[in-house]
Amino acid sequence: MYSGLLSLSPYLTRLLLKALSDPFEPVKLAGIKGLEFLIEYLGCTLGGFLPQILLAIFKTYPSSSDTFESAEGSNDVNGK
């Protein structure tokens, strides 16, 4: 399984990274799960794809400060 996955990893990684930019949330989740699987089984052999994977994950999900600021604004007492 390892050698087969290793030979397909460049194509599979690109496909999963494209899934992260899809507007449909289940497709994004499938992309994240697939990338998690690749990282778990192939680890450092992904080599040059690891920075791309991390960048795509950071761009896909908002930071906790963005979530906090939007939640903070919706709890305004004055209704503004």
Query: At 77, which amino acid appears?
Result: V
Which comes out higher in pLDDT, residue 61 or 27?
27
CA distance 34 to 16: 7
CA distance 10 to 74: 43
CA distance 33 to 23: 16
How many angstroms separate the most distant Cα atoms in the chain? 61
**pLDDT tens for each residue of 40-79:** 998 888 888 889 888 888 888 765 555 545 555 555 555 5
